[in-house]
Amino acid sequence: MNDLISVIVPIYNVEEYLDSCVKSILLQTYKNLEIILVDDGSPDKCGAMCDNYAEIDDRIKVIHKTNGGLSDARNAGLAICTGDYISFIDSDDHIHPEFYSILINTIKEHNCDIAECDVKKVFLNEKTSNIIPDNHDTSVYGTEDALCMLVNDNIIYQHVWNKLYKRSVVDNIIFNVGKTNEDEFWTYQIIGNSTKIAHCFVPLYYYTQRKGSIMGSGYSLKRLDALEAYQKRQEYLREKFPVVAAKTESSVFFGCYYAYKATVKWLKGKEKSRSKSIIKSYMKNISLGKESLINMRKIDRIRYKLSKNPITFGIITKAESLLGIGF
């Protein structure tokens, strides 16, 4: 199998995790890799470590750039990659030795554009077993089914990094720079470009839990980037996949509802007031049709109806926040 896989690894301030990540890529059973390490102006020893890796393996290319954030680093890798397939690995995570062998074989066997695997959450220095079932389950989905599952967080999630993509579905779609929820802005477009997506029900990607990571940090106004992503996603679906849009139109409401509860629970002062104002600006444009309301759970229909009144909306979200409902 001669297909080249480009592996793009954005790197910033992960000195403690980087060796595990890079070694897991170098030890892949699938060898035809172009490994692009993007040093995003990291203030620690990561830049020097990247150069050392390049000296011991000629598959590695290193980009040193000024800090521009995760999306900017991924875009820098996309700009120079030459592979037939593209993969993104976060630099504080690591992968199973069979990650690429299984995913590329799955793409070819099922004639798919994207293959993804299950994710296992791990902690630093936690030992992970390389033993996997010989015959793991795989399901294949068409574009509309995959998009519905993505929006509903069911089997297929917005994660960029547990997937392998044919280059043809990724080309010309770059990441939105400066957004905290960058995957939310990108993944639906890639799935929309595809015809079939395969999911392998086996954990091959090890997602490290750490306090200093972007998504592991405390709740803040930047998390509201997700609401912009949800809104843009629905606009995209209405234009290109109206059947999917009709089935998922409540997704922006649920995103706003959770964000409001999180705001009540964790934010204070001016940041809290600003967050509430932003969420309400999104909510005022939400109007769900009868079909969406019928398909909701009864409790969610009640939540939606109460959200139309600022007083009752404030009461129910505060009560749920205090009780920890939905977190």
| Same domain (yes/no): 68, 201 | yes
Q: Is residue 118, in this structure, part of any structural domain at all?
A: yes
pLDDT over 90, % of the chain: 81
Let me know if residue 225 belongs to a domain. Answer: no
Tokens encoding 94: 């690591």
Residue 233 inside a domain? The answer is: no
Judge if 203 and 256 occupy the same domain.
no
Q: What is the mean pLDDT of residues 2-22?
A: 97
Q: Who's near 296: CB < 8 A, 6+ residues apart?
A: 250, 304
> Is 196 inside any structural domain?
yes
Residue type, 86: I
Q: Which residues is 11 bridged to in the sheet?
A: 39
CB-based contact 279:261 (threshold 8 Å): no
Pick from 26, 184, 13: nearest CA to 92 = 13
- Asked if residue 160 belongs to a domain, the reply is yes
32-84: pLDDT as tens digits: 999 999 999 999 999 999 999 999 999 999 999 999 999 999 999 999 999 99
pLDDT tens string 111-142: 999 999 999 999 877 777 788 877 889 999 99
Assigned domain for 230 exists: no
Single residue among 188, 208, 228 that ends a domain in this structure: 208
8 A C-beta contact, residue 191 and residue 159 = no
pLDDT-derived band at 211, boundaries 50, 70, 90: low
The CATH number of the domain where 69 resides is what? 3.90.550.10
Average pLDDT of every residue of the chain:
93
pLDDT higher than 50, residue 215: no
Reading the block at residue 326, the tokens are 């939905």
Same domain, 202 and 277: no
Quote the pTM value.
0.92
**Structural domains of the chain, count:** 2
Report whether pLDDT(213) > 80. Answer: no
Q: Are residues 60 and 155 in the same domain?
A: yes
Looking at the structure, tell me whether residues 39 and 108 fall in a common domain. yes
Shared-domain flag, residues 102 and 201: yes
- Residue 315 CA to its chain's centroid (Å): 32
Rounded distance between C-alpha atoms, residue 115 and residue 139, angstroms: 10
278-325 pLDDT, tens digit each: 999 999 889 998 888 988 999 999 999 999 998 998 899 999 988 888
Q: Are 104 and 178 part of one and the same domain?
A: yes
pLDDT at residue 235, rounded to an integer? 96
| Residue numbers of the domain that contains 91 | 5-208
Asked if 25 and 145 sit in the same domain, the reply is yes
